[in-house]
Each structure stands twice: as C-alpha cells, then as structure tokens.
Structure 1
Amino acid sequence: MFRSKSSREIMRQMAKRTEKERLDKLKKKEKNRKRANTIAFRMSD
C-alpha cells in the first residue's frame, strides 16, 4: 500500500516535471522563432 502510494506520487511529480519542461521548450521555440523573424526583417530592411 505504502509503496504503491509513493510510486504514484513519484509518477505524478515526474509528469509535472515533464509538463513543465515541455512548456519551457515551447516557450524557447517561440522566442527563437521571433528572434529569427526579427533578424530576417532587419536584413530585408
């Protein structure tokens, strides 16, 4: 009983961490895309 509960807690924590990492990656992608767009915009200017 105790072991299953602790493993469930660990699974929940891992899921939270992976979700956070996924969101961080998405944010970084957005930042990189915006930066690339601004650079291309300046070059075309």
Structure 2
Amino acid sequence: MAGTVLGVGAGVFILALLWVLVLLLCVLLSRASGVASSAGLPSSQ
C-alpha cells in the first residue's frame, strides 16, 4: 500500500484537485465580464 496517503488512494486526490480547478474556473467565469461570462449561456435580449 505504498500508493495510499491518509488511508485513501491517489484517485481521491486527483478527484479533489479536479473539483478545486472546476470551482476556481466557475468563480473566474462568474467574475468575468463580456463574452467570457456569457459564452455558455444564450442571450436573453
């Protein structure tokens, strides 16, 4: 069990890192203005 830290495997840390990156991306997009903030949403105008 050389690949475990705190009783969990490397996959758990990879998933946690992925979640953190996604949350940071969401925060950045929510603070962005212009095209970047509405790139994934259709315009309501």
Q: TM-score range by the shorter chain?
A: 0.5 to 0.7
* 1:25 equivalent in alignment to 2:11: no
Structure 2 gaps of 5+ residues are 35-45
Which structure shows the bigger proportion of residues in helix conformation? 1
Identity of aligned pairs, percent? Answer: 10
Normalised TM-score (structure 1): 0.56
Shift >6 Å, 4+ stretches: none
Q: Which has the higher contact order (CA 8 A, sep 6+)?
A: 2
- Alignment RMSD, CA only? 1.8
Structure 1 gaps of 5+ residues are 1-9
- Cα offsets for 1:1-45 (capped at 9, x unmatched): xxxxxxxxx14x62x52100000000000000000000004xx4x
Q: Larger Cα Rg: Structure 1 or Structure 2?
A: 1
